Structures are given as C-alpha cells and as structure tokens.
Chain A
C-alpha cells in the first residue's frame, strides 16, 4: 500500500475506519503519523493528540507485538456466549509506542498466556479485531 498524506477533508468522510479495518484483515495496523511532530496514532484518530495538528501521513505497521495485559472472559456479553471462555487482549506493537486490543480465542487459563507472549493481528470479523499467539 502506498503511504498517502491525509488532510482533514479526506478523513471527514470516515474512509479511515474502512481502510483501518481492511489493513487489519491483512495483519497490519494503519497508523496516522503527525506530519508536524511525528506522534503515532491509530488511524481512527483525526487530530494529533500531542500537538493538535490535523495533518497525518499513513504509516503501515506490522501487526506483531507482545501481550501487555488481558482478561479471560467467562461471563460474556450477548453474541459471545459460543466463544467463551476467550481472552480480550491489549497488545503492545513492536517498534512503536502503540497498543491495540482485540479478541483472542482458545485461552482457557492464565497459564495459556503469560504477559509478554508474542502475538499478532489475525483478522477482523463479527468478534472484532482478532489477535492470536505467534
């Protein structure tokens, strides 16, 4: 994918969300890098959190990292009953000060997932962003 420069008028039509999901499906994370200060955000952010600038350029990040924290859900919200127990994970992305959270199947006890376990983005479906162990 070509790195393109975002302007406010282009992201205003919410194209960023669709593009973000399509990159997640390919195992990558679409980030917005501030053109002024370089601060990285997930592409669902429209103004720089650090300096307020509205100019971003795309940065495509490899969807790999380590498990920063997680829970194993045994009392799920509606729609997730058939998946329980499952984990919901916050993953720290390698090489960037960014974290992303998502759904992880086949985790039954904390022994299955020590903090720091290497993991990767595995797709997106009705369960949300999918993360799995590397």
Chain B
C-alpha cells in the first residue's frame, strides 16, 4: 500500500449561506487546490459527499464540480452516508490512493439546506434513521439522541447540566474559529433555559442545521513531497457499523460502530487512545460527545462526565476535544462535516489554526458517523 497524505484543505464559512450548493462546493475545492499548491489537472478523481442536494436542485454534483474546476474529464463519485458522508467519502479516496489507482484526488463535502426551514430538515433528516421503526414512528434525530441521553443520564447518574458543559466548551472553541456557524459565548444557564426540542435535549444541546462545504487534497507520499513540505500523513483508517435502529442495540449508551472503527484505526496506526493529542468527534448533540469520547477509549464508560466537569476536554486540557467548535458550534453541514473535521486536523498540524491551536500537537483523530452511529469512520493523522 502507498503511504497516503493530505496536502491541502479548504472550507467555506459554515452557517446560512446565500450561494448555491455548487458554488460553495467549488469555493471550498478551489481553496483546497490553492492550499495544496497544485494544478487542477493534477487531480485524477473526485469524491463528493452530500446528502440533500435535492434541496438545492442539484444532485450528480461530481461532474458539475469537476466542470467548474476546468477538469470535466476527471471521474467523480457522489457518496451519501447521512451525517457521516464526508468521512466515508474520505475513506474511499484514501483507499484508492493507498491501492495505487490514483496519485492525487479531491474529496469535497457539501450541504445546503437552511433555506428549506426547520420542518423540512427535521422531516428529511429523519429519513436517515431506520425509518420503519424510528422516523416512521415520529422520531426526529434530536429525539433519537435524546433517547440515548435519557438512558445515559440514568445509567451514570449524570445531569442535564453535565450535558450543557459540552455545549459551553464547544462554543468557547467556536468563538476562536472564524468559519464557525454559532460564534457566541453561552453559559450552562443559557442551555438549561433554551426551549426543549426532544426531552431531555434542549435547543442548545443540538447542533445547528448548517450550509457549508469543505475540501481536501489526498495523495501518495511521492506526490506530496514533490509539492510541499507542509502536509500531514494518514496513519490510521477504520470503519464500522451498528444496528441501524436503536432498538437493535443491547446497550443504548454506546455506539458499536465507533468502537469497531476506532479499533481498526488504532491498530493500523500502532497507537492507543493515550497517543492522541486532540480529536474532532461527532458531537451532533451534547450527549454524543460524551458517548463518543468513551467509545474512542479516551475515558472509561460513564467517566466522560467527570472529564468534562474537570475541563479535561477543553482546548488547554489533557485531551482537547473539538478544538474547531465541533458540530455544535462550528456547525453541521451534514455532507461536509467529515471532510471539515479533516480540514481542521490539517490546519492544526500544519500551523494554520490560529488562536485555537492545540499546543504541541503531533497526532490528531477524526470521528464522524451517520445517523445514530449506524455507520462510522475514524481516521488518525500525524504531522510530518
């Protein structure tokens, strides 16, 4: 297998954007190409992650993006894996470069949904669940994670205020990220007083619906060295699955796909959770970050609450989690999120993260899943 590297990354701002889905996808792609210092014609394939292109009247995004980049002859593939689309797409790009099919490829993730409004997004996002049992019985995504939250709070004697601490921490990080959607300092009290969306989760426990696009350039080591000194290497890649419906899981407070993906990624990298300097994890709801950081092995089961109370996951803590602000504050354009996490790790490990830089970081991990973790991908990167 070829060693695989990321040599460039770009993102639009996340939030309510006016430009079309195609325009924002192209903007992020151009940023990534310029960040890598390559010519578009050096790109041999495109991997495009998106879920609801239909909302902005553009599916089959790949050829449209490639045409706008002046490389209509380059093949592309569109990938949908719910909120995990970006990392799943990255994995396919990674695998094809590792296998030697391509020297350099573009992976772009994009979503444009905020113009549709809350009812449309709540309804269409519910189609990402096991619909017969969940969305088709009135469950929204906040509702599904609220069900995980209720089980977690009961099992581990945690409180809704503990969940709020995750939101407060991620908003603090997002304040330092110029591209974040929700750049606003909040308090535990603000979270507790926000409207209930799906008990026990309140509005400020939930990530926003966001528009946005992120892109990265993935290549083999030879190509990387020929173009730049400032790049990162992919040292672990793992994927996993879980029963699609929550009812299929014997334990409601763990997400099996995360554990499977993480084990595979750690094994490939020859590392343990203790070796990770920081992580971007899938905090679509505050409860998810607690569950994720336990399933990734940073904390024992039920102990993420203590870690958050003690500030261990803050930017200056023992294991900073979501220095970008995470899905909660940076935002969650679902097709772009997984790529955006990798763009954050690229920025962190190549000295481009500004005020939110994790001190002395050499190894970063990304964790991104679809739906309630029915599909998951974990990647580990190191600076060179």
Residues of A within 8 A of B (CB): 17, 42, 44, 68-80, 83, 86, 88, 90, 97, 99-103, 109-110, 115, 127-129
Chain B residues closer than 8 Å to A129, beta-carbon distance: 133, 137
Complex Cα gap A70–B150 (Å)? 7
Q: How large is the interface on B (under 10, 10 to 19, 20 to 34, 35 or more residues)?
A: 35 or more
B123 touches A68 (CB 8 A): no
Q: Is B384 an interface residue (CB 8 A)?
A: no
Tell me which of B123, B133, B199 contacts A71 (CB under 8 A). Answer: B199
Beta-carbon nearest neighbor of B196 in chain A = A74
Min CB–CB distance A64 → chain B (angstroms): 15
A110 touches B197 (CB 8 A): no
Binary contact readout B106-144 vs A (1 if CB under 8 angstroms, 0 otherwise): 000000000000111011001000001111111110111
Q: Is B147 an interface residue (CB 8 A)?
A: yes
Contacting A at CB under 8 A, from B60-93, are none
B247 touches A101 (CB 8 A): yes
Complex Cα gap A70–B144 (Å)? 8
Tell me which of A17, A68, A75, A127 contacts B252 (CB under 8 A). Answer: A68
B138 touches A80 (CB 8 A): yes
B138 touches A128 (CB 8 A): yes
Chain A residues closer than 8 Å to B132, beta-carbon distance: 17, 44, 128
B247 touches A70 (CB 8 A): no
A69 touches B151 (CB 8 A): yes
Chain A residues closer than 8 Å to B304, beta-carbon distance: none
Q: Is B327 an interface residue (CB 8 A)?
A: no
B138 touches A69 (CB 8 A): no
Interface of B: prevailing SS: helix
Q: Is B276 an interface residue (CB 8 A)?
A: no
Complex Cα gap A73–B198 (Å)? 4
Min CB–CB distance B265 → chain A (angstroms): 24
Chain B residues closer than 8 Å to A72, beta-carbon distance: 196, 198-199
Sample 26 A-B pairs with CB under 8 A, ordered by A number: A44-B132, A68-B252, A70-B147, A70-B150, A71-B144, A71-B147, A71-B150, A72-B199, A73-B138, A73-B139, A73-B198, A74-B195, A74-B197, A74-B198, A74-B199, A75-B140, A77-B138, A78-B120, A80-B138, A83-B138, A99-B248, A101-B133, A101-B134, A103-B138, A109-B199, A128-B138
Beyond A69-B154, A110-B200, 5 additional pairs, beta carbon < 8 A: A71-B199, A74-B195, A74-B196, A75-B142, A88-B144
Min CB–CB distance A90 → chain B (angstroms): 5
Tell me which of A78, A83, A97 contacts B250 (CB under 8 A). Answer: A97
Complex Cα gap A99–B200 (Å)? 21
Complex Cα gap A70–B148 (Å)? 8
Tell me which of B120, B138, B246 contacts A90 (CB under 8 A). Answer: B246
A101 touches B123 (CB 8 A): no
Complex Cα gap A102–B134 (Å)? 7
A90 touches B118 (CB 8 A): no
Tell me which of A42, A74, A88, A109 contacts B137 (CB under 8 A). Answer: A88
